[in-house]
Amino acid sequence: MPRYALKIEYDGAPFHGWQRQRDLPSVQGAIEAALARLQPDAPHLHGAGRTDAGVHAAGQVAHVDLAKDWTPERLAAALNAHLRPAPVAILAASQVDAGFHARFSALARHYRFRLFARRAPLTFAAGRMWQVRAPLDLDAMRAGAAHLLGQHDFTTFRSSICQAASPIKTLDRLEIAEIPHSDGVEYRFSLSARSFLHNQVRSFIGTLERVGSGNWQPDDVARALAARDRAACGPVSPPHGLYLMAVDYPENPLG
């Protein structure tokens, strides 16, 4: 039975996250419904990561085993036809060997968070960025972020319902760019790690926003990390500014 990897883009707004849920819309459920139109007994789809409700993706990866041999182009086109009008697109498909697993074969996951500072409400970007009213201190946020790089016990930045076996993770990258616009300033956070704890990225962003707004000092991030206590974390950012951008594999099957 051939195995196929899929590269997936979606708007997370109408979904209750990636993972299928009984009686609630999910991205996994939408794609599995499309797969069932191609093969009624199609097995479950396995994703690289379980994004939360409202979180978007530009490069989610999943795999599925199908009975029929498909060319990648025809499989992607057929799924996209059955996914309409859901805001989900199969960007690419590839046949992979039986040892490939979208979750367990992954070497790194890359996320982006978009935060926009302006007083007027967002219109076109509403639901795509977290909005704050005043500009943030970029240097202070970068100083705070530096405390999070490397291997740590991230209990402080872990959801109370996180199911990971250990709170110890290694954060490989946390970069912050400031992008001026005519009507405000965008802050773009880029994060990379082999894996993340539940709500870890959004906990980082909410904490760093506190630093950027002057309510925390950069060293307060180090103290929060050392506390290993969820109560020491800053507020968790809203989900709609977060994007799963890409997933890396030893041999990238999707280009």
115-169 pLDDT, tens digit per residue, is 999 999 999 999 999 999 999 999 999 999 999 999 999 999 999 888 889 999 9
Q: Is 52 a catalytic site residue?
A: yes
Cβ atoms within 10 Å, residue 103: 16
Pick from 25, 19, 55, 78: which is nearest to 243 by CA?
55
- CB contact set of 100 (below 8 Å; sequence gap of 6+): 3, 5, 63, 249, 253
Among the listed residues 11, 23, 41, 52, the single catalytic one is 52
Taking a C-beta distance cutoff of 8 angstroms, is the pair 78, 94 a contact? no
Distance CA 162, CA 198 (A): 5
Instruction: Enumerate domains of the chain plus CATH numbers.
Output: 3-105 (3.30.70.580), 108-246 (3.30.70.660)
pLDDT band at 251 (very low <50, low <70, confident <90, very high): confident
Model pLDDT, residue 174: 98
Residues 29-85 have pLDDT tens digits of: 999 999 999 999 988 999 999 999 999 999 999 999 999 999 999 999 999 999 999
Q: Quick check: 91 and 79 in contact, CB under 8 A?
A: no
